[in-house]
Amino acid sequence: QTVVTQEPSLTVSPGGTVTLTCASSTGAVTSGYYPNWFQQKPGHAPRPLIYRSSNKHPWTPARFSGSILGGKAALTLSAVQPEDEADYYCLLFQGGVWVFGGGTKLTVL
Amino acid sequence: QVQLVQSGAEVRKPGASVKVSCKASAYTFSNYGISWVRQAPGQGLEWMGWISAYDGDTNYPQKFQGRLSVTTDTYTSTAYMELRDLISDDTALYYCVRDYNYIMDYWGQGTLVTVSS
């Protein structure tokens, strides 16, 4: 069973920059894992942010960016706003199936 | 605008089955796939399976094979998820998601399924 690992929690100051990562137990994450990133706030459905590593949806704020960094998928938030406090999930396609990471709880403090 | 509207909350006893619907609008249903994702209370997201609305091709992770069926009705632009032999751990919010070319974009509002004796 493939495991996708994210930081359980991160804290960032308003206006700061933070990078969330997404690692696979099978090895280095590549573009062929088609990473997707989602933001979820309490009581709401997940909101897609990034697809295929680095592509933004029309509604994705410019301060969010995706990349492959050091063998992991990465989501970078720049100029963080208080409303960015949320849970963030990555999703990888590996072994012919989708696997979600466990999520990162981002606190803006 | 693209919308996925799911059926209402369900309560089932252990061992029963549940079928959740997901009606799509404002796009050509048969050109895309639908994934199903669930979230147990206070837990993370779990991908359950995918179906192509074009040809009915399906893909399930091993965990759900034999217990899960996802289907579509292209005439009504509706996808269905049926989960059998329910246990208490199946209590969760179930989402349908438009899924094509490795992109998950539009999500339904979620359907709460409660399994309790």
Mean pLDDT of B105-116: 98
B104 near B97, Cβ under 8 Å? yes
A-facing residues of B in 2-31 (CB < 8 A) are none
d(CA A36, CA A50): 5
* pLDDT interval class at A1 (50, 70, 90): confident
Residues shown for chain A: 109
* The pLDDT value given to residue A57: 98
Contacts of A89 in chain B (CB under 8 A): 44-45
Record: contact A48-B45, CB cut-off 8 A: no
- pLDDT > 90 in chain A, percent: 97
- pLDDT > 90 in chain B, percent: 100
Interacting residues of A23 by C-beta distance below 8 A, sequence separation 6+: A4, A5, A6, A29, A71, A72
| Secondary structure (DSSP) of A21-86 | EEEETTB---GGG--EEEEE-TTS--EEEEETTTEEPTTS-TTEEEEEETTEEEEEE-S--GGG-E
* The pLDDT value given to residue B117: 95
- C-alpha distances (whole Å) from B2 to each of A74, B5, B18, B23, B29 are 28, 10, 26, 11, 10
Interface list for chain A against chain B, based on CB atoms closer than 8 Å: 34, 36, 38, 40, 45-48, 51-52, 57, 89, 91, 93, 96-103
* The pLDDT value given to residue A51: 98
d(CA A54, CA B117): 46
Q: Please count the other Cβ atoms lying within 10 Å of the Cβ belonging to residue B75.
A: 7
